[in-house]
A and B are shown apart, each in its own frame.
Chain A
Amino acid sequence: MAEYTTLKTLDYKGLKCPMPIVKISQELPKIAVGEVVEVLTTDPGSLSDFPAWAKTTGNAILETKQESGLIKIYVKRQK
């Protein structure tokens, strides 16, 4: 299990395309490098989109969790 503290939770449940990625792109510059946010989403595509976005932007996905339709993604700002 990864060890980290989440700064805040971002609720992206039920958002339409491409808002989960748009919103995380807008949100991450607001936190300090090294900090972690928890994203809640119901979009199955986010499990592929967020890692691809992290690779593209130089950030990191620390962990993903799934609980009966709710997806939790832990995003660390790296740059």
Chain B
Amino acid sequence: MARSPITVSGPRSVVHGWEVSTRRSAAALRLSDASPLAKVSVRADADGALADALGVRFRGSRREDGVLVIGSGPGEWLLVGRVGMAPEIAEKVRGQGEGEFATIVDLTHGRALMRLSGRDAARTLAKVCAVDLSDDLTPDGAAFRTSVAKVATDVVRDDAGGGAGESSYLLHCERSSGQYLFDCLLDAGMEFGVEPAGPHLNQDEPAR
């Protein structure tokens, strides 16, 4: 059985071989652990054919066929997909490479991934993150890396993962700091009534 870096408390079950929380929350602000999702790192020339095929540059993101393609650095991408999909994603990218030098590494186990959704998601994040989260500088689809609660963290604004009228952010950091980051976000969100919720492991559907 595979385990997330974030300890599961409360009701749980095994889904796709992973121990996950099944807690549901209707709170206005929710934090869920999405670490079981497949995560594939791709490194290639920032302006080459593979970059074109992936269709997104550094600081942007897009969804295609259930995969969230994130431009996480210059010449660096992270592809997030459904649980267990990592080999399939890697294979597809290899096919798009046209022989240029590219590196594909499965980081499913190496990154802790969590989602913060709610009307006050940005205000919560602004307590632990010094980057300007206003709509004009960080619109839906924006991706960046910065220090969140003193941990190097990638942030992606992905409102599709939240409910109507809500903003939603995916955050991921290197695995061993996952529990710490999760706890810091819960602490920051206390003011806005945050509750931990079980993950929605199907990337296409909004996490509610």
Asked whether A and B interact, the reply is: no
